[in-house]
Structure 1
Amino acid sequence: MNISQTAETIDVRESILDNGQRIIAGKGFSAVGINEILTAAGVPKGSFYHYFGSKDAFGVALLEYYFEDYFAHMDAILNEPGLNMAQRLMGYWKFWQDNQLFYECQGKCLAVKLGAEVSDLSEPMRLALKQGTAGIIDRLACIIEGGAEDGSVAVDGTPMEVARSLYQLWMGASVMVKITRAPQPFETAITATRQMLHLTA
C-alpha cells in the first residue's frame, strides 16, 4: 500500500468514526444502523466491514477514538501554564460542562451517552469504557496530588479516592442534567467539588 492509499484509508476510517460519533451521541448505539452512519460519511457499505469486522468492533474503535481526542483536550487543560493545580482542575470541570450540554452535545459526550446502554450489551465496549474512564480518573488523581503539593487544594483521603468520587459525582450530574433539561445539577456538582477540594469561593 502506497502513501496515498494509506492516507485515503485513514481518511475513510476517520470519516466513519466522526460521523458515527456525532450520530450515536444523539441517538444512542442500539438505535443507529450502520447504513445511517455510512450514508452520512458518504462511504459504501462494503467499506464498513473492510475497516470494522462488526458493529461491536466499530463500537470499541469509536470509544477508543473518542477517548484519544478527549485525553488530548483534557491534558491541554490540566497542563495549562500560569495556573495552579486548583485552577486547572476547575478549568476541567468547565470543559466538562461545555461537553455535556443537555440541549446539544454534538458527539462530545459519548461516555455519558453510552455508559449505561452498552455496558450490559457488549463486554468489549464495556471494557473500552472502563479503560477510558480509568484514564480520566488517573489524570484527575495526578492533578489533585499536585494540588495538594502546591497547597492549592486539600483533600480528605487519597488523591485517587477523591478523583474517583469526583468523576462519579460529575457522571451522575451529567445524567441528571439530561433528565431535568436544566443546568442545576452542574451547579450542585461545582459546589460539592469545591467542598471536596476545600476551595474557597
Structure 2
Amino acid sequence: MALASSRIDKRDLILAKGAQVMSRRGYHGTGVQEIVQAAGIPKGSFYHYFASKEDFAMQALEHLYRPRLQRYANVLGNTALAPSERIVGYYRDLIAHFARQEKLEYHCFIGSLSFEMAELCQPIGQAVEDILQRSVQLLAQCLELARANGELDAQTDCQSLAEFIANAWEGALMRMKVGASVAPLNVFLDQLEQLLRPR
C-alpha cells in the first residue's frame, strides 16, 4: 500500500511541477527535460508514468481541473445561498484573490494548451473542450435553479447564458493578463451582477 501511495505522490508531483512550467513556457517551449528538472526526478521516471509529452499534458489537465471543477460544484451547490448569489460570490472571491496579489500574475494551463494545441492535436483539444463544457454545465444547472426560483426571467436560455458567462470570464482573464490589471475582471463582475439581479 505504501508503495502504491509513493507512486501516486511522485506522479502527482510531476504533474503539478510540469504543468507550472508548461503554463509559463507553453507546450512547444517545454520539453520532458524541463518537466523532470522542475519535479527533481530522473528523466527515466517520466516515462514510467507517461507515454509521451502529449500523454503528460492530457493527464495534467485532469489532475489540475478535476479539483477545481469540484470546488466550483461545491460553491454552486451551496443551498444556504440563492443560486444567483452563489454564482456572483464565486467570481467575486476569485477576483478578490487576484486583487490581493502584490504582483499580478496569471498563468492558465488550459488557456495555454488551447491556444497552442487545439488545432494541432485533436486529443488535447477535445480534453480542453470537455473540461470547459463540464464547467459550463455546472453553471447552467445553477442558472436553471435561479430561473426556477424566479431570479431570472422564465424565458431565459440557461445553457446559452452559461456559455456567455464562461466565455466572458475567459476573455476578461486574458485582458487582465495582457494589461496586468484586474479592471477587466471588475467590469465582468459588474455586468454579471446586472445579468443575475433578481427581476
Instruction: Give your verdict on TM over 0.5.
Output: yes
- 1:22 pairs with 2:20: yes
Offset of 1:81 from its aligned partner?
4.1
Matches within 5 A, 1:160-199: 160-199=159-198
Offset of 1:95 from its aligned partner?
4.3
Matches within 5 A, 1:130-149: 130-149=129-148
- TM-score where L is the length of structure 2: 0.88
Contact 1:15 1:41 in 2 (8 A): yes
Instruction: State the alpha-carbon separation in 2 of the partners of residues 51 and 160 from structure 1.
Output: 38
Instruction: Extract unaligned runs of 5+ from structure 2.
Output: none
Contact 2:150 2:198 in 1 (8 A): no
- 1:64 pairs with 2:72: no
Offset of 1:155 from its aligned partner?
7.1
**What is the match of residue 157 of structure 2?**
158
Offset of 1:33 from its aligned partner?
1.9
Instruction: State the alpha-carbon separation in 2 of the partners of residues 72 and 165 from structure 1.
Output: 21
Instruction: Extract unaligned runs of 5+ from structure 1.
Output: none
- TM-score where L is the length of structure 1: 0.87
Which runs of structure 1 show a deviation greater than 4 angstroms over 4 or more consecutive aligned residues?
A: 99-102
**What is the match of residue 33 of structure 2?**
35
Instruction: State the alpha-carbon separation in 2 of the partners of residues 179 and 163 from structure 1.
Output: 25
* Match 1:46 to one of 44, 47, 54: 44
Offset of 1:117 from its aligned partner?
2.0
The superposition leaves residues 41-67 of structure 1 with CA deviations (integer Å, 9 ceiling, x where unpaired) of 121111111111110111111111122
Provide the secondary structure at the position in 1 that maps to 2:81.
coil
Contact 1:63 1:129 in 2 (8 A): yes
Bigger mean CA offset, 36-45 vs 187-196: 187-196
Contact 1:155 1:197 in 2 (8 A): no
Offset of 1:153 from its aligned partner?
3.6
Instruction: State the alpha-carbon separation in 1 of the partners of residues 54 and 33 from structure 2.
Output: 15
Matched length: 196
Give the fraction of aligned pairs with identical amino acids, expressed as a percent: 26
